[in-house]
């Protein structure tokens, strides 16, 4: 194996890592373009190494008919696929019961696998896999819209009147209240109530619609969404 066969494989690995990494970089994710390129090129290098070891082993067996030299194909590559987990774990953050970075960790794992494919010379597979990953990262969320569960925090005065307005609104647009947490702040003028709603939204409803509608009421002091 010479540079004429090695360089195209590394080049494909760079292209694949760069394309996926740029998408992550644009969204300010923990692992960006350089991380994805390095992972992909590293995985490709391991795959090339295995290919060279296999070639050299076959050559030695041909030259020495009774040598019985053997090699376990795929053992090093398997360590790449499993070992990339420590790097992916570094991109996963847990804050206030919210997990972030799982998608970036998955993209790193995919980049490692695609790098192995590129390093073994399967360029079509590597580029096709890159296309599928990019479509998944950039467009799937737009095509398949899933509401992330959020809390809606509403601060208001005049409890009885305002609660009737909020409950009537939720019922009119088929919003299900899954849970309510609340507390009261006492003051000389009036009590300030804070309700923290966990909601299940109908298909065409958005949290923006809820915030805009509730904020129009005179008794509502503030409305905001909070991630669960």
Whether 113 and 219 share a structural domain: no
Domain boundary among 117, 143, 169: 143
Residue 88 contacts residue 108 (beta carbons within 8 Å): yes
Is the model's pLDDT at 132 over the cut of 60? yes
Read off the DSSP letter of residue 148.
P
Highest mean pLDDT among 2-6, 83-87, 165-169: 165-169
Average pLDDT over residues 168-193: 87
Q: What share of the chain is helix, strand, coil (3-state, %, to 5)?
A: 55, 20, 25
* More confident position, 219 or 93: 219
Q: Are residues 100 and 14 in the same domain?
A: yes
Same-domain status, 19 and 124:
yes
Please check whether residues 50 and 158 belong to one and the same domain: no
pLDDT at 108 over 60: yes
Task: Indicate if 34 and 113 belong to the same structural domain.
Answer: yes
Residue 29 predicted with pLDDT over 90: no
**What are the E-state strand segments in the chain?**
93-95, 98-100, 150-156, 176-185, 192-200, 220-227
Mean pLDDT of 156-182: 91
- Give pLDDT tens digits for 48-73: 888 887 877 777 777 777 666 666 66
158 shares a domain with 135: no
Spell out the residues 6+ positions from residue 148 whose beta carbon is closer than 8 angstroms to its own: 227
Last residue of a domain, one of 85, 112, 143: 143
- Domain ranges, residue 179: 150-227
- Quote the pTM value: 0.57
Considering the domain architecture, whether residues 129 and 180 belong to the same structural domain is answered as no
For residue 202, the domain's CATH number is 3.30.70.260
Same domain? For 103 and 33 the reply is yes
Q: Are residues 156 and 120 in the same domain?
A: no
**Structural domains in the chain (count):** 2
Q: Which of 101, 127, 143 is the last residue in one of the domains?
A: 143
122 and 168 both lie in a single domain: no
């Amino acid at each position: 194996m010479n540079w004429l066969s090695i360089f195209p494989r590394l080049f494909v690995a760079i292209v694949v890592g760069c394309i996926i990494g740029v998408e992550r970089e644009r969204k300010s994710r923990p692992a960006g373009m350089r991380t994805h390129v390095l992972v992909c090129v590293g995985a490709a290098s391991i795959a090339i190494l295995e290919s060279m070891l296999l070639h050299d082993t076959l050559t030695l067996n041909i030259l020495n008919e009774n040598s019985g030299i053997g090699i376990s194909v795929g053992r090093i590559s398997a360590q790449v696929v499993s070992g990339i987990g420590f790097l992916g774990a570094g991109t996963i953050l847990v804050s206030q019961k919210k997990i972030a970075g799982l998608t970036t960790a998955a993209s790193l794992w995919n980049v490692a696998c695609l790098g192995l494919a590129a390093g073994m010379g399967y360029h079509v597979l590597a580029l096709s896999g890159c296309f599928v990953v990019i479509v998944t990262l950039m467009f799937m969320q737009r095509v398949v819209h899933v509401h992330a569960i959020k809390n809606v925090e509403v601060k208001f005065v005049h409890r009885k009147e305002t609660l009737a307005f909020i409950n009537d609104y939720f019922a009119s647009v088929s919003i299900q209240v899954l849970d309510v947490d609340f507390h009261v702040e006492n003051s000389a003028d009036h009590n300030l109530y804070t309700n923290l709603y966990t909601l299940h939204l109908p298909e065409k409803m958005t949290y923006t619609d809820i915030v805009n509608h509730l904020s129009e009421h005179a008794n509502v002091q503030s409305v905001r969404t909070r991630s669960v």
